[in-house]
């Protein structure tokens, strides 16, 4: 048990999927895991452990934004022995070639700052995914007839952004999508020598109007969860 995770020793699997929304963690656990059981309810940040094809998996909500994600990633790795952490969440497209419901697999994650910035001082650390996880996620997506977008994303500090100039530069430099957590996840994973990846579903678009209704999100997010699970295990 830690300050933010009420699980007991042995409750958390070595493989952890991390949606931002705790209710999405509950939905994913009930939909994709066999015999899921609640292992965390502290502060309403729900976590569940079950099995997928005989492999133990925990699905733990991370909250919104990098500071919240950082808390859960640090405790999952340091105190519960997590070895593979995969973010499953939504993102906003930043390229015309990326459409609603598309899957984005983040090779790198740019940011203005992260909670880990103080570690590096003047160094501009480049957070990136574990290549083995990324490679298997791409293969898993293609096996399902899904052509994922693979490349750089942007992890933002704010949801209601008022920097159109920055967004223009992100688009110009090929950033596929924006979300709020992956850069810190990749940094924490690198610090502890564990594997991390972000598999995302495009739920809205920054360059044109459009957003997925809730029913469509659930169907599309299911593909994302399956890709993440298949990527996690050899």
Write out the catalytic residue numbers: 204
Q: Which parts are annotated binding residues for a purine D-ribonucleoside?
A: 4, 179-181, 203-204
DSSP string, the chain: --SS--PPTT-S-SEEEE-SSHHHHHHHHHHH-EEEEEEE-GGG--EEEEEETTEEEEEE---SSHHHHHHHHHHHHHTT---EEEEEEEEEE-STT--TT-EEEEEEEEES--TTHHHHTT-----B--HHHHHHHHHHHHHTT---EEEEEEE-S-SS---HHHHHHHHHTT--EEESSHHHHHHHHHHHT-EEEEEEEEEEESSSS-B--HHHHHHHHHHHHHHHHHHH--
């Amino acid at each position: 048990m830690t300050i933010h995770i009420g699980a007991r020793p042995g409750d958390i699997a070595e493989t952890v999927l991390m949606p931002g929304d705790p209710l999405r963690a509950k939905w994913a656990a009930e939909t994709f895991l066999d015999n899921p059981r609640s292992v965390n309810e502290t502060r309403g940040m729900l976590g569940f452990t079950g099995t997928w094809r005989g492999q133990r998996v925990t699905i733990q909500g991370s909250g919104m934004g990098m500071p919240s994600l950082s808390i859960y990633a640090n405790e999952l790795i340091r105190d519960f022995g997590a070895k593979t952490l995969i973010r499953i969440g939504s993102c906003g497209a930043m390229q015309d070639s990326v459409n609603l419901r598309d899957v984005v697999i983040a090779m790198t994650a740019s940011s203005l700052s992260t909670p880990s910035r103080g570690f590096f001082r003047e160094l501009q650390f480049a957070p990136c995914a574990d290549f083995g996880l990324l490679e298997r996620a791409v293969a898993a997506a293609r096996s399902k007839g899904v052509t994922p977008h693979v490349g750089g994303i942007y992890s933002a500090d704010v949801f209601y952004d008022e920097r159109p100039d920055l967004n223009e530069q992100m688009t110009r430099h090929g950033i596929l999508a924006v979300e709020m957590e992956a850069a810190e996840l990749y940094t924490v994973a690198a610090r502890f020598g564990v594997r991390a990846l972000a598999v995302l579903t495009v739920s809205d678009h920054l360059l044109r109007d459009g957003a997925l209704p809730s029913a469509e999100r659930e169907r599309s997010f299911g593909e994302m969860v399956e890709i993440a699970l298949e990527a996690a295990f050899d």
